[in-house]
Amino acid sequence: MVQRETPPAVSEKIAGRSASRLPLRDIYRIVCFKYHPAPRRNKEVVQTLRQLSGYQQQSEWSLWKAVERALSDPRAEAFLKVNVCVPVNEQLGEQLRHALGLDEVVVIPALDDPIALSHYLGMAAAQVFGPRLRPGQGLGFSGGRGVGALGQTLQLPLDDRRPFRLYALSLLKGHEVLGVTAEGIVEEIVARHLWGLKGYLSSPERCPVVGLLDPAGLSPSDLDWAFIGVGALTQGDVIFDYAGAFEFDVTWARQAGIVAEMLFHPFCADGLPPRQRPRWLSKVVTVSLALLRAMVREGKPVVVVAGGREKALAVLSVHRAQRAGGPLFNRLVTDEACAKEALHLLGQKDSEILDKAWQKVCQCFLAVHWRFLANERCRTVKEVARKLSKSRNKASRLLHEALHGTPPLAKVEVVPPVPEPVFRLDLEAALLQAFPLREARVVQPWDGQHSYQAVGAAAAQLVLEWLKNASHLRLGLGSGRVRIVVDALGFPQTLQRLTALRQLDITVLESLTWPQTIKVGTRGAAIANSLMVRCLGDRRLRVRLYHEGGSGFAPFGRRRRGSRWDVSPRRFSTRPLPKPMGYRS
């Protein structure tokens, strides 16, 4: 799903249509005519424009060029929300299911981009297993990119009378958030389902989803589902990427024969643990493998999410661990490369017959990926054709079939832009003169939820000004309403465009002591974890405790009458700060 971004402020004068930069209104209209209520060809968009009074004097050629420029404009992406139905290779999945003796195997097309593959693995898991979840169930989550993508995509059927219980199956010790953690995934799911753009909860007394972050003491009776990632101790796995923090020695691991980890438990190629206990286990709290075995014996779904050719040996080693007391999982979500390599390691040749229909589905899927969802998206059909090594006409047909098929492979929705904040420049100047501030932003108040959106957009614009040419920035985050700033930043898409940025240090302006129960997801640590989950553990992003120096955001406001759950703090110290900065809502 394409995440929505806050469009930049642009002049709305139609007279500037012939300029090199199209007005935002023109871009939105063309995008809307192109994709709403159903995708259309550019010829139909041009015909629609010619019926409007502002475009009747334009030649057909100029309208064609305007449509092409609008659809290739980076600002057009902010208006698109794309839902992809990830295709599943049922034949290959059935063969691997039979070879491993599992209850279910989901196999999706292979991709060369490991981050994009993690996104689609999580989307496929949510697509297949999400409709089977019921209110009142207990769901367990490990860390990892694939499970993190599942957490961003999963839509729970909420019921106030029977709340979902979300359990973190592992918990990192220490004062730094390392990659996509289990506790971060749980907090992101809670916040995404409960925290809107209003700044408060509509029914705080009844929380239909509750997160529990302490894995100690968990029993099989607490869980109905478990979603777990498997690591191969290579680049992209949290233990490898943060080797210093985990005291991970690659040479020692290879000599010990360790080829995989699941919930930080190590596995050798034969499925047995190494003779010596790894040092990294002292850095985490995790559930025992006996809990997973008990769930499998009781017939509860334990879903492993892992993809890529390099993960095949890791998945097989975890599967072979059943010799030590029983199987650890009974369902698998993977890709074609991992599935075929696993069959090869098992001494079986994949019996997949050349299926032209499946190949065409994969080509349509890749066309949608490059056009709408890739990290570096193709803004024109010509660019898509180059990525697919196809002709322009062939790429156009693939996109058309993906959007108009029965059922369609992708659905494109047009999202209206968030109102731009109206700045009070006079009040900003007055604040800077009256107080020892280094920066200030004042926005015109709105009624309803747009009030918080305006404040968040203003803060996000300021952050992006700092990040635009910075190579290293330290940013402090408070709690509560500061979450709206994170939503307005539009990560990870925005982060990908900051090519000069090498390190963004997020400082949580409160203790990282984890509570056992999460019902709101607006603490500073939860907000910082949301950034990590959305960016899938981008190495340029680091989260740590507060330290002197840097800039920070903290909420100030008044409590609503009769509300116990207003998330703004009631008291704050007036002692001098290194760089005081705040926003009043």
Supply the DSSP symbol for 105: E
Using the predicted structure, report yes or no on whether residue 514 has a pLDDT greater than 70. no
pLDDT at position 584 is: 38
Lowest-pLDDT range, 155-169, 367-381, 486-500?
Answer: 486-500
* pLDDT confidence tier of residue 346, bands split at 50, 70 and 90: very high
pLDDT at position 375 is: 80
Average pLDDT over residues 263-280: 92
pLDDT at position 79 is: 86
Q: How open is the CA angle 242-245-249, to the nearest 5 degrees?
A: 75
Local structure of 497: helix, strand or coil: helix
Supply the DSSP symbol for 171: E
pLDDT at position 578 is: 45
Beta bridge partners of 166: 139, 211
Tell which residue, 60, 55, 47, has the closest CA to residue 22.
55
* pLDDT confidence tier of residue 6, bands split at 50, 70 and 90: very low
67 touches 45 (CB < 8 A): yes
Average pLDDT over residues 359-369: 93
Using the predicted structure, report yes or no on whether residue 556 has a pLDDT greater than 70. no
Using CA atoms, how far apart are residues 563 and 123, in angstroms rounded to an integer? 37
Sequence-ordered alpha helix ranges (H) in 130-181: 145-153
pLDDT at position 55 is: 81
Q: Which residue has the higher pLDDT, 147 or 573?
A: 147
Lowest-pLDDT range, 122-126, 205-209, 389-393, 410-414?
Answer: 205-209
Lowest-pLDDT range, 123-132, 337-346, 467-476?
Answer: 467-476
Q: Which residue has the higher pLDDT, 571 or 133?
A: 133
Lowest-pLDDT range, 214-223, 437-446, 490-499?
Answer: 490-499
Using the predicted structure, report yes or no on whether residue 416 has a pLDDT greater than 50. yes
Average pLDDT over residues 125-137: 95
Using the predicted structure, report yes or no on whether residue 108 has a pLDDT greater than 90. yes
Residues 281-297: pLDDT tens digits?
888 999 999 999 999 99
pLDDT at position 298 is: 95
Retrieve residue 15's tokens.
């007279």
Retrieve residue 223's tokens.
């869980």
The pLDDT > 70 percentage for the chain reads 83
Using the predicted structure, report yes or no on whether residue 4 has a pLDDT greater than 70. no
pLDDT at position 314 is: 95
Using CA atoms, how far apart are residues 101 and 89, in angstroms rounded to an integer? 18
DSSP-assigned states of every residue in 202-271: SSTTS-SEEEE---TT--GGG-SEEEEEEE-SSTTSHHHHTHHHHT--HHHHHHHTEEEEETTEEEETTS
pLDDT at position 299 is: 95
Using the predicted structure, report yes or no on whether residue 307 has a pLDDT greater than 80. yes
Q: How open is the CA angle 253-256-259, to the nearest 5 degrees?
A: 60
Structure pTM? Answer: 0.82
322 touches 271 (CB < 8 A): yes
DSSP-assigned states of every residue in 49-104: HHTSGGGTTS-HHHHHHHHHHHHHSGGGGGGEEEEE-----HHHHHHHHHHHT-SE
- How confident is the prediction for the chain on average, in pLDDT? 82
Q: Which residue has the higher pLDDT, 234 or 560?
A: 234
* pLDDT confidence tier of residue 546, bands split at 50, 70 and 90: low
Please count the residues of the chain: 585
Q: Which of 45-59, 317-331, 397-411, 435-449 has the highest mean pLDDT?
A: 317-331
Residues 386-409: pLDDT tens digits?
999 999 999 999 999 998 888 889
pLDDT at position 229 is: 95
Q: Which residue has the higher pLDDT, 85 or 508?
A: 85
pLDDT at position 206 is: 65
pLDDT at position 555 is: 59
pLDDT at position 583 is: 37
Tell which residue, 114, 144, 117, 108, has the closest CA to residue 260.
144
pLDDT at position 210 is: 86
Q: Which residue has the higher pLDDT, 451 or 502?
A: 502
pLDDT at position 564 is: 36
pLDDT at position 18 is: 40
Residues 67-85: pLDDT tens digits?
888 888 888 888 888 889 9
